Amino acid sequence: MAAENQHEIVIEEQEAEQLCKYLINKPSSPEIKAAYRQAVVKQGVYFNPEELALWRKMMTSGFMLRIIDSGLALIKPTSILRKRIFIMLCILETDKHYTKYFLPVKRSIFYLIPLGVRVLRGCFSAIFGIIALKIMKTE
């Protein structure tokens, strides 16, 4: 039993690292990893076997995480998988070392160009995500 719990902790630490990179493109601290694990346990955000299989696919790369999250945002926005992402988002936003990534910053008008590219990337990610979810039959 202890070995199983230890394995789950390792998976959650990897999740925390991957989610932090996905959300702010920075590595997470040990405090963030611990807060993430505690929040997941406290909120009881556990997977059924189908969700766990999809979550593991999402955790394989930032690309898979982005497209599946984007697809779920349109198909099933209240899924457990997205709840875990939002748990990490909340933790990062309230941590004094990461808050700066969520505050507004004065930018030039030319920032609209990379912003437009990100919007297009988001649209394509959502389309690919919906297709991937249909192929995996996890609507």
Task: Choose from 5-9, 54-58, 112-116 the range with maximum mean pLDDT.
Answer: 112-116
Please report, as a single letter, which amino acid is at residue 14.
Answer: Q
Q: CA 79, CA 96: separation in Å to the nearest integer?
A: 28
Q: How many domains does the chain have?
A: 1
User: pLDDT per residue over 66-77, tens digit each?
Assistant: 999 999 999 999
User: pLDDT per residue over 14-66, tens digit each?
Assistant: 899 999 999 999 999 999 999 999 999 999 888 888 888 889 889 988 899 99
Pair 59, 18: CB distance under 8 Å = yes
| Cα end-to-end distance, the chain, whole Å | 33
Q: Which residues span the domain enclosing 79?
A: 2-135
